[in-house]
Homo-oligomer: A and B are copies of this chain.
Amino acid sequence: MSLPPTSRDVARIAGVSQTTVSYVLTGKGSISPATREHVLQVAESIGYRPNLAARSMRTRRSGRLAAITGVAIDNQMRMLNGAAHVANEAGYVMETHSFDGTVEDRTERVLELTAGGQYEGILTFVPVLSAALSNGPGTPPVLAATAFDDKMHSLGELADASLLEVFISALVAAGHRRFAHVAGPQDYASGRARAETYLACVERLGVESLGVLGGEWTAEAGRQAVLALPDDAPPVAVIAGNDILAVGVFRGAAERGWSIPDDLVVTGWDNAEFGAYTTPSLTTVDVDFEAAGRHAMHLLVAALRGEEPPPRASALQRIVWRESTGRAEPPR
């Protein structure tokens, strides 16, 4: 097992200097087409690939961006894909680091990443302390792509719960007077925003609320929430924090013999694939996670280039009316 070929090997075989090889590969110097072609051919023939560590050391540019994510959340994959796409377009390689543990643990690991000198920018999709965002001398910028606390930097598109008002308004217009919210965890910005919007909205419209139930992003929490409703709850409109909670609501309703949408109407959030195929199909909010990921990475790239940040992407969210809300339609 020999060592991988270097640019010097290419130079020696091609009969030119290592400098020439470097200029050919970076396309920077002035090199004649004939020489360029020849060098490229030699490089190809011996399977030469630049050593990126050496290149990075020399240029102080790694061409690499880091994306920080946490435990398994399906939607994050889509965001990551969107972000990776933009990064590639901008000439960067994006790598994903999955950090578990407490906020402090994650913050420490992000700091290690910034100081390691391997990344030109870092985008985090999970909460970190603001200490990780205040960049020291010579450290790469760290951008948080999710809102999580008032004290922390945020973008916030994904936590926007304004469409929940549209749900409730449309259902009220369709005659519904009694509501319940099956919420996600309140330490998630999105879960908290939806619960707060729900409470403000039922208050403002003066309709009855059976309270905020749930508290986890699980189907079982949705099921339990329905099982906990009083027997005379129907007809009631159940606003679920996301689609997996909603499918639990479906199950709970079936167990109690309640029909959807006659006894219960149900809304979800996220537009998970299965929601379009349940019976009844699930009214929900389509969230363009990929676009959100793209937008976040656009912000990071703009920051790296010192450009003006692109305008906030609009219409990341869109209501999809389906059978679980009966004939309730959006106001026209």
Residues on A lying within 8 angstroms of B by beta carbon are 1-4, 47, 49-54, 56-57, 62, 71-74, 76-78, 80-81, 84-85, 93-98, 100, 112, 115-118, 136-139, 218-220, 222-223, 244, 247-248, 250-251, 254, 272-274, 276-279, 281
- A244-B274 in contact (CB<8A): yes
Q: Could you name 17 residue pairs across A and B whose Cβ atoms are closer than 8 Å?
A: A1-B137, A4-B115, A4-B117, A49-B117, A51-B117, A52-B118, A53-B53, A53-B117, A54-B57, A77-B77, A218-B273, A220-B277, A222-B277, A244-B273, A250-B277, A251-B279, A254-B279
- B3-A49 in contact (CB<8A): no
Q: Which residues of B contact A244 (CB under 8 A)?
A: 273-274
Question: How far does the alpha carbon of A4 sit from the alpha carbon of B77 in the complex, in Å?
Answer: 33
- A57-B49 in contact (CB<8A): no
Question: How far does the alpha carbon of A254 sit from the alpha carbon of B4 in the complex, in Å?
Answer: 60
Question: How far does the alpha carbon of A47 sit from the alpha carbon of B54 in the complex, in Å?
Answer: 24
Question: How far does the alpha carbon of A138 sit from the alpha carbon of B6 in the complex, in Å?
Answer: 12
Question: How far does the alpha carbon of A94 sit from the alpha carbon of B4 in the complex, in Å?
Answer: 23
Distance (Å) between the CB of A21 and the closest chain B CB?
16
Question: How far does the alpha carbon of A251 sit from the alpha carbon of B275 in the complex, in Å?
Answer: 10
Minimal Cβ-Cβ distance residue in B for A243: B274
